[in-house]
Amino acid sequence: MRLPTTNPAQWRLFVAVWSVIAIAAIVASGAFARRDATAAARRQATTASALHAAVLRSELERHRSLPMVLAQDPDLARLLSRPDPVVTGRLNRKFEALAREVRAAAIYALDADGRTLAASNWRLSTSFVGSDYRFRPYYFEAMRDGQATFFALGTVSGRPGLYLSRRVDDEAGRPLGVIVAKVEFDALEADWRASGEPTYVTDADGVVVVTTVPAWRFRTTGRLSSDQLRRFTATQTAGAIAPSALPFDAVDGETVRLSAAVAPDLYAIASDPIPGIGWRLTLLAPAGEGVSRAVAGARWLAALSIALLAALSGILLRRRQRAAARAVEAEQGRIELERQIGLRTAELRATNDLLNHEIDERQRLESVRQDLQDGLIQANKLATLGQIAAGVAHEINQPIAAIRTHADSASLQLQRDDPAGALRSLSSIDRLTERVGVITDELRAFSRKTRSETVAVGVDGAIDGAILLVAARLRENGITLERRRAQAGLAVLAERNRLEQVVLNILQNAIEALDGTPDPVIAVGVSLKGKQVSIHITDNGPGVPEAVQARLFTPFTTSKRDGMGLGLVISRDIVAGFGGELSLEPSPRGARFAVRLARAS
């Protein structure tokens, strides 16, 4: 807009009008900015409060089941019913390890009189062992109701924490004592404090129990009744603690201003309940600085906008013409851009089709490769069965012949009216039949074509199955088998039949390598290191030639005249499929193979 130069009255009116517009715009924009910034701060506070509440609920749920599980411990019931130093020491160490694992401040057991018999802090100078806690609500409420939840200062440590307790009963339902777990929230408070948002948690009476501002602890959100105050002072034992109101100056229902302990400023407030325990989490999100910045920015923006509007009003027509010209250029540019996008989209579509075709082809080839590998593994199984067939047949023929002899004996004994002898013969036939069944079941299971995911497989069971199949060859060749069994229940991640196939292949190689060796011996052992289980198979034969060792696991590499050189390659692929490793280890004499697999947890 062009300013008038010949009429001072018009100029004064122009200035007056734009001044009023500017003042109104600045005031209105500041009010709108304040409202929006405050609402944004409240939304931020609500989100942060929900996240903090979720973390607290997770922490409480993680510890709440601890007393319930420990109350079922037979050692605990034994100690509470009849104290014993051995059981006490075992429980002390168990509680100590468990407290360290779950990050509990303390775990301890109280007898029926409230005296501590075992505790996780038994090594420390502040040990609870021997302390009398019959006066603590978590003891007598648990003895009365079966369980209790209680927040207070520790009588020994002087540190605040949540006590979770559960009564321990004998088989007749009589109370033996109480198991207690104390949870401290120092780490949680530190994490919340790092966010820069003051946060506190109140109990059912409105008393602050967890907070990022230590000066607020045991303050209240409102005035306590005489009963609440009496209960509070009766349960807090570390000095004279009297609750006082939090230092808040109310602004409205959703914002507050702090007057002490934290730098005074405007804060947006949000609150979330913690179900099951009667607590409530409250979070204060700083809003003052953000509101001030938003108001100042909005006012500056309004002033600048008004100034620009006033300055640009005089050249509006020319800018409009330029805008029309730029609109034509923009339309032409849009058309060209759409054309380029169309060309590029066609290229990408063609490339994508080609990529999909390559993916399908790779998947087909992978399926063919897997089928070939499974076929090769099954062929190796059948070839192995062919090698041990004669020995297995001999293993079966012996009990069959004995079955026939016992059957004849039973017939004669029945003719002689000797039922006791006939029963003994029939019992022998039953045992021999069971032995034949074990051998044939193992052969049938081993020959079955399998392809499954890894599961928990007992180590000794897989080794026993492989040894059963080569037992006849071991006896036939006069080979001594030294077997060191694994610890009870040890299992690995594998597939039973394929793990047997690996062990059987290595045993077959060891038997053939010991041909001509005086006093041949094969040693089979199992070791556990961390989460890894190792199966070691060692023979005292001539060992693997150095020229063969470097390419031992390469297809068609063998030191046997009639060997194919595929057994170890297949075994290595099977073990690798389990996520393990098959290797040849150094040995002073003979060959030593190690199968390393992950332990099943």
High-pLDDT (> 90) share of the chain, %: 9
Sign of CA dihedral 301, 304, 309, 312: negative
- Beta strand pairing status for 255-258 and 248-250? antiparallel
**pLDDT attached to residue 3:** 42
Give per-residue pLDDT as tens, 445-479: 555 555 557 889 899 988 888 887 788 788 888 99
Question: Using one digit for the tens of pLDDT, what is the confidence trace for 551-578?
Answer: 777 765 555 555 445 677 778 888 888 8
**pLDDT average, residue stretch 394-405:** 58
**pLDDT tens for each residue of 324-343:** 678 888 888 888 888 888 88
Mean pLDDT, rounded, of the chain: 76
Among candidates 217, 220, 282, which has minimal Cα distance to 256? 282
Higher pLDDT, 118 or 304: 118
Domain boundaries defined on the chain: 64-184, 322-451, 453-598
Which pLDDT belongs to residue 490? Answer: 92
Would you place residue 180 in the very low, low, confident or very high pLDDT band (cuts 50, 70, 90)? very high
Angle between helices 419-447 and 459-476 (to 10 degrees): 110
Most confident of 297-301, 473-477, 545-549, 579-583: 579-583
Tokens of 20: 């009023």
Contact 107, 75 (CB under 8 A): no
Query: Does 453-598 match 64-184 at the fold level?
Result: no
* Structure-derived torsion over alpha carbons of residues 144, 146, 150, 152, reported in degrees to the nearest 10: 60
453-598: which CATH number, 3.30.565.10, 3.40.50.10790, 3.40.50.740, 3.40.50.620?
3.30.565.10
Burial class, 12, CB count within 10 angstroms (exposed 0-12 / middle 13-18 / buried 19+): exposed
Angle between helices 316-415 and 496-513 (to 10 degrees): 60
* Cβ atoms of 109 and 79 closer than 8 Å: yes
Whole-number pLDDT of residue 179 = 93
Cα-only R_g, the chain? 41
Residue among 326, 199, 367, 220 nearest 274 (CA): 199
- The CATH number of 64-184, from 3.50.50.60, 3.40.50.2000, 3.30.450.20, 3.40.630.30, is 3.30.450.20
pLDDT (0 to 100) of residue 31: 65
Helix (H) or strand (E) holding 201: strand 199-202
Distance, in Å, from the CA atom of 392 to the CA atom of 255, rounded to the nearest integer, reads 85
Which of 443, 445, 491, 447 shows the shortest CA–CA distance to 471? Answer: 443
Q: State how far the Cα of 111 lies from the Cα of 129, in Å rounded to an integer.
A: 11
Residue 589 confidence class, pLDDT cut points 50, 70, 90 = confident
